[in-house]
A and B are shown apart, each in its own frame.
Chain A
Amino acid sequence: MWAFLQKHSSPKYFYNLSGYLIPWFGWICLAFMLEGLFFSLFASPPDYQQGESVRIMYVHVPAAWMSLFIYMVMAIAAGIGLIWRIKLAEVIAASSAPIGASFTFLALATGSLWGKPMWGTWWVWDARLTSELILLFLYLGIIALNSAIEDKRTASRASAVLALVGIVNIPIIHYSVEWWNTLHQGSSVTQMITEFKAPTIDISMLIPLLLMAVAFKLFYALVVLMRARGEILERERNTRWVQELVSHQPVK
């Protein structure tokens, strides 16, 4: 088991495997994205209260889900890298941070665009918006720490500690902000999971939403593989296999 993991998590093996996987992820992601966009923009009904602007939800909600999901992935990868010193886990954690920050920003930006017609302002100091904003700050701190430390492996370990401190703090921040102020509507989908109720969202809206969520997940997998490849080449630039790969000839 350990030998299997060692072999499959070696940067060289991962580089080749990800090169093979990327087209697959790319095409499947494109298929889901097109289908999700078709359903969400054309084949789903406008909301009886919110009208056409409800369509922002199909980008906003999956982006918000991704922002937390990527933080979890990043923190777990960072923890694995910190404990077992697996290079691949450090690379995944380092490449996930900017993607997570982008999704968080996307969720905030689309939320702001949605808020203007619905609540009448671009921004409210509501609990969910605020915790999303703080999540963005956490991501930016990790990215800044990653780039401030010269040595890549030290940088990975330092930001791993920060990511783990963040993961302890996220629920605390979430609930503290929740009790502080709430205006945002409750989640219709988690309600279904936690309370075993039929979702308060109609099935014609749930389908495009879930399609988009899958598309976003695949998009993340695609981009993280691409970033990780670049990161691996940079980190392993002094090894023989990278030099052979780059110069297209055997290195003595």
Chain B
Amino acid sequence: MVSELSAFYILLKRDLTLAYRHRSELANPLLFFIIVISLFPLGISPESKHLQTIAPGVIWVAALLAALLSLDNLFRADFEDGTLEQTALSAHSLPLLVFAKVLAHWLVTGLPLIILAPFLGILLFLPQHATPTLVATLTLGTPILSLIGAIGVALTVGLRRGGVLLSLLVLPLYIPVLIFAAGAVNKAATGFEVAGELYLLAALLCLSLTLAPFATAAALRISLS
């Protein structure tokens, strides 16, 4: 019998290995992120002063949608081959195992987004001095997106057409993150202090870290029953 912590590491390692074996799939949400952002200059105007004002919002909305798009893979494959059921049946606490899966998912989808974001900021003429804030909000915000999204995926994993439903369930819950994060980047771009927004994002992260795995585990048990 392995301890809780090593079960956590084993599952994390397994999920990361699986993600590495399907490398090409990982690029898709990132490509989506880049393409959505490059559509805005085409649709609105290539002028820097227009793009500059919408850049924080556009980057954050695109990040939200990219996170949503990648969520479907979180439990789907495991659900279809029965691994998820075995995970739920194991003697270890399900919230902890869920947390391992969400962490692995964030490492392969959220982290690349953070690395890409400064370059996309350049594409949209986001002022240089706002880039650290952009990265900070994404670092605090994308784990929240994964954690809250996991609840939605857990609720819809048993359904055949869960994709559209998932966005209906999850997007309203993402709104506070969007407001604080895009607000912080906007403020930073105009040269204001952003500590308040970052603290609020950090508080949201703490809240979702502590509560979301339990809600996800409860939802998974319902979907598996």
By a beta-carbon cutoff of 8 Å, the part of chain A in contact with chain B is 82, 134, 137-138, 140-141, 144-145, 148-149, 154, 157-158, 161-162, 164-166, 168-169, 172-173, 176-177, 179-180
The residues of B that contact A173 with a CB separation of less than 8 Å are 172, 175-176
B159-A154 in contact (CB<8A): no
How many whole Å from B220's CB to the nearest CB in chain A? 10
How many whole Å from B102's CB to the nearest CB in chain A? 15
B171-A137 in contact (CB<8A): yes
The residues of B that contact A140 with a CB separation of less than 8 Å are 168
B168-A141 in contact (CB<8A): yes
Q: How large is the interface on B (under 10, 10 to 19, 20 to 34, 35 or more residues)?
A: 20 to 34
The residues of B that contact A82 with a CB separation of less than 8 Å are 218
The residues of A that contact B161 with a CB separation of less than 8 Å are 148
A213 to B219, CA, bound (A): 36
How many whole Å from B204's CB to the nearest CB in chain A? 7
Q: Is B188 an interface residue (CB 8 A)?
A: no
Among B165, B173, B223, residue most surrounded by chain A Cβ atoms (within 10 Å): B173
A165-B172 in contact (CB<8A): no
Contact bitstring B152-173, A, C-beta under 8 A = 1, else 0: 0001101101100100110111
B156-A145 in contact (CB<8A): yes
The residues of B that contact A176 with a CB separation of less than 8 Å are 175-176, 179-180, 200
A180 to B215, CA, bound (A): 28
B159-A148 in contact (CB<8A): yes
A175 to B159, CA, bound (A): 33
Main secondary structure of the interface of A (DSSP, over half): helix
Q: Is B183 an interface residue (CB 8 A)?
A: yes
How many whole Å from A113's CB to the nearest CB in chain B? 24
A231 to B207, CA, bound (A): 36
The residues of B that contact A165 with a CB separation of less than 8 Å are 148, 151, 173, 215
A149 to B154, CA, bound (A): 13
The residues of B that contact A166 with a CB separation of less than 8 Å are 173
A169 to B171, CA, bound (A): 12
A68 to B180, CA, bound (A): 24
Q: With contacts A140-B168, A145-B156, A180-B183 known, is A169 near B215, CB below 8 A? A: no
B215-A161 in contact (CB<8A): yes
Q: Which of B148, B155, B162, B225 contacts A161 (CB 8 A)?
A: B155
The residues of A that contact B223 with a CB separation of less than 8 Å are 158
Which chain B residue shows the least CB distance to A156? B222
Which chain A residue shows the least CB distance to B177? A176
A-B contact pairs, 6 of them (CB 8 A): A148-B159, A157-B222, A161-B219, A162-B151, A173-B175, A173-B176
A138 to B171, CA, bound (A): 9
B168-A137 in contact (CB<8A): yes
Q: Is B211 an interface residue (CB 8 A)?
A: yes
The residues of A that contact B165 with a CB separation of less than 8 Å are 141, 144-145, 148
The residues of A that contact B218 with a CB separation of less than 8 Å are 82, 161
B179-A180 in contact (CB<8A): yes
A141-B169 in contact (CB<8A): yes
A149-B168 in contact (CB<8A): no
Q: Which of B148, B159, B179, B207 contacts A149 (CB 8 A)?
A: B159
A17 to B207, CA, bound (A): 42
Which chain B residue shows the least CB distance to A147? B165
Which chain B residue shows the least CB distance to A159? B155
Contact bitstring B204-225, A, C-beta under 8 A = 1, else 0: 1001000100010011001101
Additional A-B contact list (10), CB under 8 Å, known A157-B222, A158-B219, A173-B176:
A138-B172, A141-B165, A141-B172, A148-B162, A158-B222, A158-B223, A162-B169, A168-B211, A176-B175, A176-B200
A173 to B161, CA, bound (A): 28
Q: With contacts A157-B222, A158-B223 known, is A134 near B175, CB below 8 A? A: yes
